[in-house]
Structure 1
Amino acid sequence: MQDSPSLWLGPMRRPVRLAAIVAGALTLALALVMFVNNLIYTDASGMHEMLRPAGRPIVQAMLALLAISFLLASVYLSDTIGVIEPRPTGPFDILSLALGRLAMIGVVFIVLVMFYEVVARYVFEKPTLWANELSLWIAGFVLLFAGLYAMQQRSHIRIYIIYDMMPRWAQKTADVVSLALIWVFAICLIWGGYNEARDKFLRMETFGTAWDSPLPATIKPAILLIILLVAIQALSNLIADWNKDPGSHSPADEIDQAEIENIRRAVEGD
């Protein structure tokens, strides 16, 4: 992601960055303390206790710092955009952009978890009971947040062959019909899944494994929440694009000229 002026944080950009670094450093320090404690003490708090933090101040502090670190990092990263990313057009775009950045952080976290599992399994012959399930849990949220981010970026697959031949009023009509279909789907999904999602969350339904994470209790409500946000984002896109000049689309639109230029400079530098 290239360095660019502040999108929305303004003078708060530097304090947010500093707070994210401090929170991340404290999180890593506390994680190191917990890791060392597990090597020394048999009753130390580990990943099993991370899901059951009641009465364990160090676990509660770890979870709070981890959440704050992720939140601040995603907020800070949402204050810049890449070369091919469109500028946000409203507050809801900022929310979607921040959740998209959170999904990107989640991908990195999945890689770290799986790397830890590979080393533990094949180097020390001590596989974990939680790595695969944790990566699956995170991946579920990554996919949901990525869907919202894709809607904000207008990067879902679309076929423009007929759309580009339409007059502008017909294009607007097609956009309204598409939005209506998205909202019908969202309402039906929320209407049909609300009771189940509520029950899973209230009883904090778990996965039924050795680690026994509350994956069903969190993923199911998140699906309904994200599909609602996707529908709102689609409405926001329609409003933002309503008075824009009609554009044409070609295969050349998919070419990232900035990336090609970066590759060219890297090759010439070698």
Structure 2
Amino acid sequence: MPAFILDWNPPEGSDFDKLAAQFQRMDVTPGMAGLFGGFADLVDWAALAGIVATLAFGMMTVRRAPMEFESWRVIDRAAVFLGRVAMMLIVLLCCVMLYEVFVRYVLNEGTYWANEMSLWLAGYVFLLAGLYAMQQRSHIRIFLLYDICPRPVQRLFDMISTLLILTFAFFLFYGAYGEAFAKFYRWELFGTAFDPPIPATLKMMVLLVIPLVAIQAVINLISDWNAEPVFHTAADDFDEDELQRLRAAVGQDGVGELDVTRTAHQKGDN
């Protein structure tokens, strides 16, 4: 990313020299000439094109899982796909943490990058999962008053909550815009031995994701406007599809393939 900053919107004066020196120090292909007379080389352009292509392909091909919210539109595909990305990042985060534990307690050594990498990945997981949770209507909500109100009043509550989300997103973007872009343009690093660009990337990611959350809230409001009233009970915490699969696996007599007493029953019969 520093290569594209230097090409598209280079800082002025000493900031340019600092960013250029930082780019030369971190460049994974230092011997490759930049394309179009700039800093970004073929690898940089290929990585950028790959990210765009992955996002486009993922949003076009993502499918709803059985346990996910049933009613979603084409416009919801972005949030659903980014939710899939968050799920994969959780797996990667767990691998990093397990590797750190193995190296530290089995090999009696340590890493200088695992902690910062975990923080970096966790930040992305937190933001992307928030967008996905908004699309799935799975944020923590208190339905005690909501459920006993008629549908027009429920719509009013939905409008108020959406307005509050939009207000929060506006003021967050307005207040953090200057600092986030300043950190991004100078590609601010974390200041450790590993020195990842956590301030430069996560601050900018907040500015990108929070407006998407607000937009998703508006989409939810429009999508659910004519929906039938839903009354929430303790049974909502159970996945009916999963229960059906468990019943089918266990069997009517309770001695199916997943029954832990199956072996004991068989031995007793013999």
TM-score, reference length from structure 1: 0.72
SS in 1 for 2:189: coil
Partner of residue 43, structure 1: none
Contact 2:58/2:81, CA 8 A, preserved across alignment: yes
Q: RMSD of aligned C-alpha atoms?
A: 3.1
Contact 1:78/1:101, CA 8 A, preserved across alignment: no
Find the partner of 1:130 among 113, 119, 123: 113
Distance 1:73 1:120, change over 3 A: farther
Correspondence list, 1:167-186, <5 A:
167-186=150-169
Tell me the number of residue pairs that the alignment of Structure 1 and Structure 2 aligns.
221
Distance 1:256 1:51, change over 3 A: farther
Q: Which segments of 5 or more consecutive residues in structure 1 lack a partner in the other structure?
A: 1-48
Shift of 1:251: 1.2
Contact 1:74/1:102, CA 8 A, preserved across alignment: no
Find the partner of 1:205 among 188, 191, 208: 188
Shift of 1:55: 1.0
Displaced runs of 4+ in structure 1, greater than 4 A? 67-70, 264-267
Partner of residue 145, structure 2: 162
Structure 1 residue 79 corresponds to structure 2 residue 70: no
Could you give the per-residue CA deviations for residues 26-57 of structure 1, whole angstroms, max 9, x where no partner exists? xxxxxxxxxxxxxxxxxxxxxxx995425166
Find the partner of 1:118 among 101, 109, 118: 101
CA distance in 1, matches of 2:234, 2:25: 48
Contact 1:51/1:213, CA 8 A, preserved across alignment: no
TM-score, reference length from structure 2: 0.72
Distance 1:187 1:238, change over 3 A: same
CA distance in 1, matches of 2:128, 2:47: 21
Structure 1 residue 250 corresponds to structure 2 residue 225: no
Partner of residue 30, structure 2: 55
Higher helix share: 1
**1:100 aligned partner, one-letter code:** G
Distance 1:51 1:121, change over 3 A: farther
Aligned residues with identical type, % of pairs: 46
**1:154 aligned partner, one-letter code:** R
Distance 1:224 1:88, change over 3 A: farther
Find the partner of 2:199 among 210, 216, 226: 216
Structure 1 residue 228 corresponds to structure 2 residue 204: no
**1:230 aligned partner, one-letter code:** V
Partner of residue 75, structure 2: 92
Distance 1:182 1:169, change over 3 A: same
Contact 1:100/1:149, CA 8 A, preserved across alignment: yes
CA distance in 2, matches of 1:56, 1:146: 39
